[in-house]
Structure 1
């Protein structure tokens, strides 16, 4: 009986390890940005601190990249990232990025409009909720809200 309990416990731990591995951030990302944008460089450093190898593309037409990604008009930010089969628009906090890769919803990506203070790459403290949206084909829906 004890052997069966131990076997079940080990099997359960292996399953938990498998789901945790699936939720990990991808190893690589590509950021499309303006070469003079310092806050974008800050976001790159933040991703690299999470163990993601980031390739920066400075000469892409950002409007075309955002259109290709399906980012809704008016909800853009200063950079767009291709990562693990998804698009990440703007200074999305890691809590939301990690939730995207844990949940793996059927969307093109997630974003955070503008350049809110306190987000990765932006100075200051969070003073208002971050309304992160999901998007597909230029249509958006709420993904999550991160309160200050």
Structure 2
């Protein structure tokens, strides 16, 4: 084997070993109302960040939220599931990636309401908002991350 071929093979092996963990990110199963454009924009945000998103349209989002343990105080427009975690609303891809890497003991993450400036809600206005984590046993959410416009 020539030294050139050895270097090529070594480089290829290093490239495979160096693939980041998020490259194997599980599929995001997103439930949304068929008429919601901001939900589609959020899915596009995730796809641009390397996630695969499967969109499921339903007119009964209330039933989806109940099924996944999303309380009214955490609710937004769409509900998704990724690797066993519930993602409610306009949660940034970076927070989902962190959730999947750290694997905290939470049911999921939520961005309640539809804050301007969150992924999928780029309206030109910027609201402060928090990404909340919650568990099914304790419905009191905790701040997972905050976005402020200071």
TM-score interval, smaller chain: 0.7 to 0.9
> Does residue 90 in structure 1 map to residue 89 in structure 2?
yes
Equivalents in 2 of 1:145, 1:52: separation in Å?
Answer: 22
Contact 1:48–1:54 (CA<8 Å) still a contact in 2?
Answer: yes
**TM-score computed with the length of structure 1 as normaliser:** 0.77
Q: How does 1:45-64 map to 2 (within 5 A)?
A: 45-59=44-58, 61-64=60-63
The runs of 5 or more residues in structure 1 that have no matched partner are: 1-15
Residue segments in structure 2 that go unaligned for 5+ positions in a row: 1-16
1:38–1:75 CA distance, 2 compared to 1 (3 A): same
Question: C-alpha distance in 2, partners of 1:102/1:125?
Answer: 31
CA, structure 1 residues 86+130, in 2 after alignment: closer, same or farther (shift >3 Å)? same
Q: Which residue of 2 aligns with 1:32?
A: 31
CA distance in 1, matches of 2:95, 2:52: 19
- In 1: Cα distance, 2:129 partner to 2:110 partner: 10
Shift of 1:26: 1.9
| 1:43-122 correspondence runs (5 A) | 43-59=42-58, 61-122=60-121
Bigger relative CO (Cα 8 Å, ≥ 6 apart): 1
Aligned length: 132
Identify the residue that residue 145 of structure 1 maps to in structure 2: 146
- Partners of 1:119 and 1:38 in 2: CA distance: 14
| Inter-CA distance 53–95: structure 2 relative to 1 (3 Å threshold) | closer
Deviations 1:63-120 (A, max 9, x none): 1221222222222000001112111100012232222122110111000011111111
> Any idea what the Cα deviations from partners look like across 1:28-59, whole Å, max 9, x if unmatched?
11110000001111011111112222111112
- Cα gap change, 1:147/1:25 in structure 2, threshold over 3 Å: closer, same or farther? farther
Residue 122 (structure 1) shift: 0.9
